[in-house]
Structure 1
């Protein structure tokens, strides 16, 4: 029987450390500055919470592409940032819409 692992241990540790720092308001300014921008963000619910929106500055996706993020773990609408399973996103604050 194979062992299922959603994400590797290193990715899990990065996610947890980012959430710990965010909860203490200790953001890595350079990481946030390099984070993709997500416009017209909308919370969506499927098997988990995620965001959909139009992305720019993503390291692997083209600009102005509509995407759905990986699972959403942390978000502060007033600061305009969120942490998905894979990365930080900067949010256009006025465009967050509830589910």
Structure 2
């Protein structure tokens, strides 16, 4: 399986979010309402991603175990991550405990 970009709009949103995060302008990012990913861990397949139990995802039921789209940004201190498709608030798992 080869990773493919979804569409130009998704890539442009990702780029804008990464630029704002790099500049430390987190207040301009849609993080407050981002899905929560509990017991989060990094996983490696064809790309780095996150796994965990999701709450508040717009298309997935609460409590579902998921593997996210490709991981592009992770800030353990703030407990946030940006995947190809969206921001996540991350908690609990080995990801934040440094394991």
Same-fold status (TM-score > 0.5): yes
Q: 2:65 is matched with which residue?
A: 66
> Equivalent residue of 2:32, what SS?
helix
Structure 2: any 5+ residue segments left out of the alignment? none
Shift of residue 33, structure 1, vs aligned partner: 1.0
Structure 1 stretches of at least 4 aligned residues deviating more than 2 Å after TM superposition: 96-99
User: Counterpart in 2 of 1:41?
Assistant: 40
Please report the TM-score for the alignment, with normalisation by the length of structure 2.
0.87
Pairs within 5 Å for 1:1-99: 6-28=5-27, 31-92=30-91, 94-97=92-95
Aligned-residue CA RMSD in angstroms? 1.7
- The answer to whether the Cα contact below 8 Å between 1:77 and 1:96 also exists between their aligned partners in 2 is no
Gaps of 5+ in 1: none
TM-score (norm 1): 0.87
Q: How far off is 1:82 after superposition?
A: 0.3
Query: Which structure has the greater CA radius of gyration?
Result: 1
Name the CA distance, whole Å, in 2 between partners of 1:45 and 1:65.
Answer: 20
Once residues 88 and 27 of structure 2 are traced to their aligned partners in structure 1, the CA distance between those partners, rounded to angstroms, is: 13
Give the 3-state SS of the residue equivalent to 1:34 in structure 2.
Answer: coil
